[in-house]
């Protein structure tokens, strides 16, 4: 989905996410005077695996898919990051997402480094059997670098608990015993965690309440627009509505809708589940996909893909607060423009850290074979998100910088410290 309907898709493609991620790092590293050797280490990925593998299709033909697994940094612990299935996946996108995961884990105080994976595919065009065979073959191909002590994948765009179960089972079959901690985001029946499915959206809600308190914004008199009504976006919408926010616009891959009076989020979720789309929801008007970013609202939640708010449309953003539920939805140039306009942006490495936090809880539970109930999970998540937000907020105020810069200062310092303390081997 492009940010502006009238702009050709190539305009968005020109925004290379890896270059954006490196630029964000370079800006923060310069401001904190990071030593040149550490800069050189942290601005590159540690390991990148490209795999091409055959899959037998339902009609008997063989199709070759390309996939990736990238590990950015592992100084603080095993690599952690999702796997996405999307026709637009590129190696540079996966590298950027891996770097962002490193910072996200450091900000949340988790003993992980950053990783990411993906397959270039439109999963909607595959049967379930084809999807399973592709997943299992991909899992086998990347098995050389994943494992509970090395790199722990999780769901991301167009992947699910079922897909994580296939990966876990594939790795387990190759070893001859069950290894539930090899992935997170699994079904409860095979070692998943209570609260994992809602974790990213719940984390967004916790951050929304934190920043609104500090900015003097009353949730009960605030409107919200959400781009992307998948897992993170729909759950954030539901939980924010429960806190008093009025959701006035949402979009998904099929279209966008708006209602100034507010949308009944529970009914909308049911509508999408039954029809596959947010469009056609009773009482809402259809708007262009790009307009969900530009409607009049107090809080904007980009929860789709990267490069959605750019220098082309940043001037048309009307929200006073933006919560990045997606990874990299705002380009560096747009970030500057929003800051100049006085719009507060809570960066992705903080705003959507709820997912990886509960993934960490799942990993810990799998390793010890001792599981917590959902109330305990949610309480632990709220504690982590509160601490992370407070530390980022305080850092930004201490140095007089944006929340993104404050988050990067915190994350880079923690990863640099671990890298320095470990030294260079041999």
Q: Rounded to an integer, what distance in angstroms lies between the CA atom of residue 151 and that of residue 168? A: 13
In three-state secondary structure terms, 286 is strand
Output the six-digit token pair for 380: 């632990």
Nearest Cα neighbor of 389 from 412, 409, 407 is 407
**Residue 345 vs residues 169, 218, 325, 360, 393: alpha-carbon distances, Å:** 40, 17, 11, 26, 12
Question: Residue 426, preceding bond cis, omega within 30 degrees?
Answer: yes
Contact 356, 232 (CB under 8 A): no
Burial category of 338 from C-beta neighbours within 10 Å (exposed 0-12, middle 13-18, buried 19 and up)? buried
Q: Rounded to an integer, what distance in angstroms lies between the CA atom of residue 248 and that of residue 257? A: 8
Is residue 56 flagged as an active site residue? no
Q: Rounded to an integer, what distance in angstroms lies between the CA atom of residue 123 and that of residue 112? A: 29
Phi, psi of 113 (to 5 degrees): -100, -170
- Catalytic, out of 46, 95, 104, 116: 116
Q: Rounded to an integer, what distance in angstroms lies between the CA atom of residue 314 and that of residue 337? A: 7
Nearest Cα neighbor of 162 from 141, 134, 185 is 185
162-169 CB contacts, 8 Å cutoff, 24+ apart: 162/187, 163/83, 163/85, 163/131, 163/135, 164/192, 165/190, 166/132, 166/135, 166/136, 166/139, 167/83, 167/135, 167/136, 167/139, 169/136
- Antiparallel, parallel or unpaired: β 299-302 and 223-227: parallel
Q: Rounded to an integer, what distance in angstroms lies between the CA atom of residue 124 and that of residue 160? A: 13
- Active centre residues (catalytic): 116
């Amino acid at each position: 989905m492009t940010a502006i309907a009238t702009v050709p898709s190539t305009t968005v493609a020109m925004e290379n996410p890896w270059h954006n991620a490196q630029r964000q790092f370079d800006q923060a590293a310069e401001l904190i005077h990071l030593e040149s050797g550490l800069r050189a280490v942290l601005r590159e990925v540690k390991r990148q695996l490209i795999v091409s593998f055959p899959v037998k299709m339902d009609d008997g033909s063989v199709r070759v898919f390309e996939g990736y697994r990238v590990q950015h940094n592992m100084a603080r612990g095993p690599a952690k990051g999702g796997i996405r299935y999307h026709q637009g996946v590129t190696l540079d996108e996966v590298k950027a997402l891996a770097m962002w995961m490193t910072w996200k884990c450091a900000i949340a105080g988790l003993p992980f480094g950053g990783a990411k994976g993906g397959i270039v595919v439109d999963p909607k065009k595959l049967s379930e059997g084809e999807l399973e065979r592709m997943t299992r073959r991909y899992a086998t191909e990347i098995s050389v670098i994943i494992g509970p002590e090395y790199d722990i994948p999780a769901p991301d765009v167009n992947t699910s608990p079922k897909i994580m179960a296939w990966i876990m089972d594939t790795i387990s079959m190759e070893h001859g015993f069950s290894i539930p901690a090899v992935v997170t985001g699994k079904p409860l029946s095979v070692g998943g965690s209570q609260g994992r499915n809602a974790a990213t959206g719940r984390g967004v809600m916790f951050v929304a309440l934190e920043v609104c308190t500090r900015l003097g914004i009353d949730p009960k008199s605030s409107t919200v627009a959400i781009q992307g009504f998948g897992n993170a976006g729909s759950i954030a919408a539901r939980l924010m509505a429960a806190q008093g926010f009025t959701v006035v616009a949402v979009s998904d891959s099929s279209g966008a809708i708006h209602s100034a009076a507010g949308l009944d989020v529970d009914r909308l979720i049911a509508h999408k589940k039954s029809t596959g789309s947010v469009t056609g929801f009773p009482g809402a008007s259809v708007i262009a996909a790009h307009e969900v970013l530009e409607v009049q609202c107090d809080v904007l939640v980009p929860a789709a893909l990267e490069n959605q708010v750019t220098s082309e449309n940043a001037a048309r953003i009307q929200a006073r607060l933006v919560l990045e539920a997606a990874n990299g939805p705002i380009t560096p140039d747009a970030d500057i423009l929003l800051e100049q306009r006085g719009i507060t942006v809570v960066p992705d490495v903080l705003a959507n850290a709820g997912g990886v936090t509960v993934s960490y809880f799942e990993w810990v539970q799998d390793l010890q074979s001792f599981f917590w109930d959902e109330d305990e999970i949610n309480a632990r998540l709220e504690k982590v998100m509160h601490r992370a937000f407070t530390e980022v907020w305080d850092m930004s105020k201490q140095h007089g910088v944006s929340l993104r810069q404050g988050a990067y200062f915190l994350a880079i310092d923690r990863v640099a410290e671990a890298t320095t303390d470990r030294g260079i081997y041999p």
